A = this chain, B = another copy of it.
C-alpha cells in the first residue's frame, strides 16, 4: 500500500499512539489502514462414503487436487462461503453437517476454515477454476497430489474421526518452515 484509499495522498508507515504495531497511515486525512488475515472457507463433501475433490485449473498449485474452498466474501457467513465455493468449483449442492477444522497459515495471513458436509445428490461438474471433479474412496485419495497442507490436514482429520466414529473440531498451524 502506497496511497490512501480514502483521499489518494501518499501514506506513511508508523505506529499510531496507543497502538503496538506499525500501520499504513494517511497524515492528510487521518485514516489508519489496518490489514488483517483473510478467511479461506470450504468443506469435505461426502457421498456414500466417498469424498469429492477438485483438480485445480488455476495457480497456485494448478493440476493438484483440493477440497472446494475459497476466500470468504463480505456479507457472507462461513456456511454461505463454503456452500458457494462447492457450487462454483464443483457445481455441487452440499449440506453442511458441522465445522471440522481450522488451519492457521500465518506466513500468508490466512485462516482456513473447513466444514464436514455431504452432497445432496450425486451430481457435480467442472467449475471455471477446476479441471476435473471426482469422488474418491479413502484408499484412492491422491495423497501425493494434494494441493495444500490445510487440505491434507482436513482430510486426515476427517478420515481419523470417521474411523473413530466420532467427529470433533480440529485446529492446527502450518508454517512454511515446517515439513508437511
Contact = CB atoms under 8 A, between A and B. Distances in A.
A78 B39 CA distance: 11
Count of chain copies: 2
A123 B164 CA distance: 40
A18 B78 contact: no
Contact of A5 (B2, B21, B106, B173): B2
A35 B168 contact: no
Given A34-B71, A39-B111, A76 B8 contact: no
Nearest to A37: B72
Interface residues of A, number: 45
Contacts of A148: none
A109 interface: yes
A154 interface: no
Interface in A18-50: 18, 20-21, 33-39
Given A1-B6, A3-B8, A104 B79 contact: yes
A33 B5 contact: yes
A84 to B, nearest CB: 9
Contacts of A76: 37, 104, 106
B168 A168 contact: yes
Interface in A87-122: 88, 98-99, 102, 104, 106, 109, 111, 113
Contact of A73 (B3, B36, B113): B36
A4 interface: yes
Contact of A104 (B9, B78, B98, B128): B78
Nearest to A115: B171
